[in-house]
């Protein structure tokens, strides 16, 4: 058993140090597929947050009832149930967004972040800690998706949430909202991330991380 960490740490780790997308490289499918506009990124983040928090709460509260042999199947079933709810709610409330996200809402089921958190965290920790962990991971996921969505929409369409930013004379860099743009944006993001991390490691100061966070943002 490792030493119990302060609860605030469970919340913060998902945002930067163990960011699910940028550090753990999990859940890349939605990160690349639906981040062509900020609106889609936010909708996807909201759906994933709902599923992650819901499943973490449920898994951590029934962890003593689930036999070890069938735990993965149980988690998948729980996740699939929450995804179905999210899918139906999105379809009923914001049909146009649901249409644009298409199959990717249903694909939250196989998002490795969610199953990973159940297996690695919620199945071993108390309900409260699992909630903090899920919230932290969701914020990290949302942050990564929003950055991706902002970069791609700004460059690819010259807009932010549909509002024109660069004025009528901006020639849209269309490739950024198409599939290759997703790969390029995430690739550059990871390169910057790794460069910043390497530099702050070279400095080896304890205050480097927040400074780097500000520089990267």
Summarize as ranges the residues that interact with other proteins (CB under 8 A).
25, 28-29, 32-33, 73, 76-77, 80-81, 83-84, 87-88, 102-103, 106-107, 109-112, 115, 175, 178-184, 186-191, 193-195, 198
CB 162 within 8 A of CB 129: no
Smallest gap, in angstroms, from Cβ of residue 191 to other proteins?
4
Smallest gap, in angstroms, from Cβ of residue 175 to other proteins?
7
| CB-nearer residue toward other proteins: 45 or 132 | 45
According to DSSP, the β-strands at 163-164 and 159-160 are antiparallel
Cα gap 214→15, rounded to integer Å: 13
- Token pair in block for residue 132: 């903090």
| CB-nearer residue toward other proteins: 149 or 181 | 181
Smallest gap, in angstroms, from Cβ of residue 130 to other proteins?
21
Cα gap 3→1, rounded to integer Å: 7
| CB-nearer residue toward other proteins: 165 or 215 | 215
Smallest gap, in angstroms, from Cβ of residue 51 to other proteins?
11
| CB-nearer residue toward other proteins: 11 or 154 | 154
| CB-nearer residue toward other proteins: 11 or 176 | 176
H or E element, residue 159: strand 159-160
- Token pair in block for residue 101: 């996200």
**172: alpha, beta or left, given left = phi > 0 and alpha = psi -120 to 50?**
beta
Smallest gap, in angstroms, from Cβ of residue 96 to other proteins?
16
- HSE-up (13 A, CA, CB side) for residue 170: 14
| CB-nearer residue toward other proteins: 10 or 140 | 140
Cα gap 177→158, rounded to integer Å: 11
> Residues near 124 by Cβ (< 8 Å), separated by ≥ 6?
63
Smallest gap, in angstroms, from Cβ of residue 194 to other proteins?
5
DSSP state of 5: P
């Amino acid at each position: 058993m490792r030493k119990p960490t302060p609860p605030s740490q469970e919340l913060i780790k998902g945002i930067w140090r163990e960011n699910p997308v940028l550090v753990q490289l999990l859940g890349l499918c939605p990160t690349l597929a639906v981040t062509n506009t900020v609106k889609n990124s936010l909708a996807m983040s909201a759906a994933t947050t709902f599923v992650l928090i819901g499943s973490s709460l449920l898994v951590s509260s029934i962890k003593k009832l689930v036999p070890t042999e069938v735990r993965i199947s149980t988690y998948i079933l729980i996740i699939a149930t929450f995804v179905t709810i999210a899918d139906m709610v999105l379809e009923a409330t914001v049909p146009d967004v649901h249409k644009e996200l298409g199959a990717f809402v249903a694909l939250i089921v196989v998002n490795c972040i969610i199953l990973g958190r159940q297996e690695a965290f919620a199945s071993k920790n108390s309900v409260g800690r699992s909630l903090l962990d899920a919230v932290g991971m969701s914020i990290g996921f949302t942050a990564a998706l929003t950055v991706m969505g902002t970069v791609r929409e700004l460059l690819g369409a010259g807009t932010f949430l549909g509002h024109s930013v660069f004025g009528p004379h901006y020639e849209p860099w269309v490739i950024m909202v198409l599939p290759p743009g997703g790969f390029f944006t995430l690739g550059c993001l990871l390169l910057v991330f790794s460069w910043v991390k390497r530099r702050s490691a070279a400095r080896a100061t304890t205050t480097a991380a927040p400074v780097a966070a500000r520089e990267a943002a």
